[in-house]
Amino acid sequence: MGNVIGYTTGVYDMFHIGHLNVIRRARELCDYLIVGVSTDELVIKEKGKRPVIPYEERVAIVEAIKYVDQVVPQTDKNKYGAWEKYHFDKMFVGSDWQGTPQWKHYEEQFLPVGVEIVYLPHTDGISSTQLTSIIKQYLDEHPMI
């Protein structure tokens, strides 16, 4: 392969097996993996809610994963700006984003500079939103006395 740099991003709130699957698969397809972790400010702006796990703790969790070579802050959704900073060859994202207007735009944007966008299989049946919902339901059914 010859020193292929990969890049992927996420919130990584309430880290789960779906997150790990994407990171592991991404690392199998590059020599050096950079992971952008969304800042609390970006999550609030994009999703209208604060992450359950604070940014510094989410970074510490992602840094501890053996497939991750470097963790960087994701402060905005400007993927091209990230490329200008980190010069990655491949950008990895879950297959649930494939075909969306946002990612079609990224594909067009990256074509001239030769960055390959790789859609990795999405792990069905798990998301941080689902985990939050399950925990809330459990707490509602089992109030602390």
- pLDDT tier at 138, thresholds 50, 70, 90: low
User: Does 136 qualify as catalytic in the annotation?
Assistant: no
The rounded distance, in Å, linking the Cα atoms of 8 and 22 is 9
Is the pLDDT at 60 greater than 70? The verdict is yes
List the domain boundaries for the chain.
5-141
Nearest to 130 by CA among 36, 35, 18: 18
Quick: pLDDT tens for 21-47.
999 999 999 999 999 999 999 999 998
The rounded distance, in Å, linking the Cα atoms of 132 and 130 is 5
pTM metric for this prediction:
0.85
Of 45, 49, 85, 136, catalytic? 49
Of 47, 85, 104, 136, catalytic? 47
Tell me the CATH architecture of domain 5-141: 3-Layer(aba) Sandwich (3.40)
User: Does 90 qualify as catalytic in the annotation?
Assistant: no
